[in-house]
Structure 1
Amino acid sequence: MKTIESIFKINEFRDADIMACSGLNEEHGKNFGAVSAPLVKTSLFVQHDYQTYCDDMQHEAERYIYSRGLNPTTELLEKKLAALERGEACKAFASGMGAISAILFALLKNGDHVIIVNNVYGPTVTLIKQMHERFNIEYDIVISGNPDDIKEKIKPNTRMIYTESPGTMTMRLVDLSKISAIAKQNNIITVIDNTWATPLFQKPISLGFDIVIHSCTKYIGGHSDLTAGAVIGSNKYINEIRDFSHQLLGAVLAPDSAWLVIRGLRTLPIRMKQHQENVIQVLNYLKSRDDIENICHPLMGSEEQLSLLATQMYGVSGLFSFELKHGSFEKVRTFIDACKIFKPGCSWGGYESLIISPNRGYNEKAIVQDGMAPGLIRVSVGQEAPEILINDLNNAFNTINEI
């Protein structure tokens, strides 16, 4: 494995990112000098008089009237996330799926076509399939992520290319610059779920993408005590999403959760550095084992994948998967149950280490059709000491090898 220093270029965004994550750009004077951002816990804001109320109602997107629309705590978070992703604007939602749903419902209409690129979060694909059945939204899936394969799927009614990079479970990278160039040539909106990398390690808007999604439940929140989502992009797209999906579908982020996400941002650079250092040590351990078929992490990819990594990313996170040799549900279940530090849990990105598998015993045929091996296991490397995590995995390998 190459060293981290040999793969990543200097992050030219670093100083501005640290400023956005911290409280250095906040106006403390407006908050009585409070170093911590205030939690404005209110459902509505009263106006000085009725004429002011009438005037404000014509500018609901910019004025404090009702917290479903705009709240000072949530607004501060949105400004920070927009700055981190180098977008013009951001809207926050009550969950990652709230953010994803908002984009799809605001920007797609009957008869539109979506190209899903790479292995994408399962509920996202399920929602698009539901929209196909209910609202005549067409879709194609290009698992390979190959630009030529994407071009072949473009139709006159193609409205959106939706991707993740790294991809769910497989962690495969796709070339974001090439995909965005293809989309621009064909007047297609590009959307990416950037949760794996966080805004610190990947900047899709700088690579030509239109819209970026985050499940702030994961690394950005970082403490497994909230659910939140965000959409970042140009004023044009965020206004469309705000007017339709944010205001009318109602999956808005409560100020309490927004405050927790802001708290998470304060330590995001430090936490991501530690996730990266921990996962490198765990990967170094795993690559020495001969009972693993494959390790799915960008650092363990082919030369082509490593080149993409160096070109479009500034670091790596702690979520990855690996395949047990001669894998089966029983083998997977035994391995996971033998772990004591890695706990079975469906999310990731917090301080704790987690472990799951897409193989649930009743769906092996389906996961193979989706390009995943029966012995695939996904781990989220947390903030624990790496030697403890390695020892836990080692004990699990010893357990399955005794069977």
Structure 2
Amino acid sequence: MSSEQKFETQLQHFGEKRQDYHGAVVPPLFQNSLFTFESWEAIDAAFDDRTKNFIYTRGKNPSVSLVEEKIANLAGGENAKLFGSGMAAISSAILHLLNPGDHVITVKNIYGPTNNLLNAYLRRKMNIDVTYVDGENIDDFVQAITDKTRLIYLESPSSAVFRLQDIAAVAKLAKEKGLKTIIDNTWATPIFQKPLAMGIDLEVHSCSKYFGGHSDIVAGVIIGSEQDIRDISVNEFELLGGKMAPFEAWLILRSLRTMPIRMQKHQENAMQVATFLENHPKIRRVNYPGLASFPQYELGCRQMSGFSGLLSFELAMEDLNQIKTFFNGLKIFQIGVSWGGHESLIYAPAISYLKELPQEQFK
């Protein structure tokens, strides 16, 4: 397919070999656990490269592979690997690049489970050291580098407060210092931001959000070079078992058809909500990179072609009962975790913190 075609067109047609499934306009679902072979020689040859041949669905499946090809093409990567959840993808990407005793630099306000993986699980199991930086200035990263630093993990925009990092500058620094980079690009998606083109090594996503778009799947993906994805496929993917189900991949294929249109509408709706909240007397602050008042608005415009549908805000009230009244009084917005689907959702991260922190620490 011509590289000059718009990505909207490529999402519709890239990788689809309709002659292989009788011209069906929708590729079939390969809901099978294994693949048979006509001879000893055929299966023996297939095992010469498990990453390219269909043997067992835990390793490779046609329904999954088609979606991987489309996502890699959209993000500008050489290859991609789908996982059973976003955290399976994130964990596999991080484990792929780290060795015991390594040092990781990451930004504050990263996704909670990612933070727990780095700062608790890997610190305990692999003696991984983690340094958190604001990340708004390149000097934050420069000053954090040690002789044991192996990985810089980015999330731009970051969770909850949506702080940005200068992706190209961090990637350049990492290459100069011989470090690896990973970015969680779930918020912006490859529709609005292409970190691989800026020099990032691995891009990860929770496909449960915008790639799925209908709140009916749980999945994740890693996008990167052919070599990295091949190595992850035969190691972290196969050995840790983070398999992607064919049916959920098929649902993502459905969702990719409308993803460009959905992302534009997400952006339009979020901008209307953010603008309304920004001018409301009972709102203290709105965090949305698409607002001209956002402190890093210019950086956002430089490295993103658009903004998505998730934002946060602070109510101008401290009383917990008033906050509960606000939540319980909403009519259109439903209370729930996650985002990126067709419904309007609201959630307060402090809800989960209340289960873990003393009342005096909750603010």
Length-normalised TM-score, structure 2: 0.94
CA distance in 1, matches of 2:336, 2:207: 17
Which of 280, 285, 289 lines up with 1:294 in the alignment? 285
Matching of residues 282-321 of structure 1 within 5 Å:
282-300=273-291, 302=293, 305-321=296-312
Alignment correspondent of 2:35:
45
CA distance in 2, matches of 1:292, 1:119: 21
Distance 1:368 1:191, change over 3 A: farther
SS in 1 for 2:13: coil
Quote how far apart the aligned CAs of 1:50 are.
Answer: 1.1
Which of 165, 172, 175 lines up with 1:181 in the alignment? 172
Distance 1:25 1:61, change over 3 A: closer
What amino acid sits opposite 1:279 in the alignment? A
CA distance in 1, matches of 2:178, 2:140: 18
Quote how far apart the aligned CAs of 1:301 are.
Answer: 5.7
Alignment correspondent of 1:61:
51
Quote how far apart the aligned CAs of 1:304 are.
Answer: 5.4
What amino acid sits opposite 1:99 in the alignment? A
Alignment correspondent of 2:7:
17
Alignment correspondent of 2:251:
260
| Structure 2 unmatched runs, 5+ | none
Quote how far apart the aligned CAs of 1:219 are.
Answer: 0.7
Distance 1:190 1:29, change over 3 A: same
Quote how far apart the aligned CAs of 1:91 are.
Answer: 0.5
- Larger deviation: 227-236 or 103-112? 103-112
Quote how far apart the aligned CAs of 1:368 are.
Answer: 11
CA distance in 1, matches of 2:79, 2:135: 31
SS in 2 for 1:159: strand
Alignment correspondent of 2:231:
240
Preserved contact between residue 110 and residue 135 of structure 1 (Cα < 8 Å): yes
Which of 124, 127, 131 lines up with 1:136 in the alignment? 127
- What do the CA deviations read for 1:160-202 (whole angstroms, capped 9, x no partner)? 1111111100011111111111111111111000010111000
What amino acid sits opposite 2:199 in the alignment? G
Alignment correspondent of 1:193:
184
Preserved contact between residue 343 and residue 354 of structure 1 (Cα < 8 Å): yes
Which of 134, 141, 145 lines up with 1:154 in the alignment? 145
Quote how far apart the aligned CAs of 1:216 are.
Answer: 0.6
Which of 193, 203, 217 lines up with 2:208 in the alignment? 217
Alignment length (residue pairs): 359
- What do the CA deviations read for 1:29-82 (whole angstroms, capped 9, x no partner)? 111010112111111100110121112112111111111111111000000010
CA distance in 2, matches of 1:277, 1:362: 33
Quote how far apart the aligned CAs of 1:284 are.
Answer: 2.0
Quote how far apart the aligned CAs of 1:84 are.
Answer: 0.7
Preserved contact between residue 177 and residue 208 of structure 1 (Cα < 8 Å): yes
| Structure 1 unmatched runs, 5+ | 1-12, 375-403
Which of 350, 354, 362 lines up with 1:362 in the alignment? 354
CA distance in 2, matches of 1:197, 1:222: 13
What amino acid sits opposite 2:53 in the alignment? R
SS in 2 for 1:298: coil
Distance 1:108 1:59, change over 3 A: same
Distance 1:368 1:178, change over 3 A: farther
Which of 255, 280, 303 lines up with 2:271 in the alignment? 280
Distance 1:286 1:112, change over 3 A: same
- Larger deviation: 46-55 or 222-231? 46-55
Preserved contact between residue 219 and residue 268 of structure 1 (Cα < 8 Å): yes
CA distance in 2, matches of 1:32, 1:278: 40
Quote how far apart the aligned CAs of 1:350 are.
Answer: 0.1
CA distance in 1, matches of 2:307, 2:358: 29
Alignment correspondent of 1:382:
none
SS in 1 for 2:131: strand
SS in 2 for 1:319: coil
Length-normalised TM-score, structure 1: 0.85
Quote how far apart the aligned CAs of 1:94 are.
Answer: 0.3
Alignment correspondent of 1:378:
none
SS in 2 for 1:139: strand
Quote how far apart the aligned CAs of 1:100 are.
Answer: 0.6
Superposed structure 1 runs of 4+ greater than 6 Å apart: 363-369
Quote how far apart the aligned CAs of 1:148 are.
Answer: 0.5
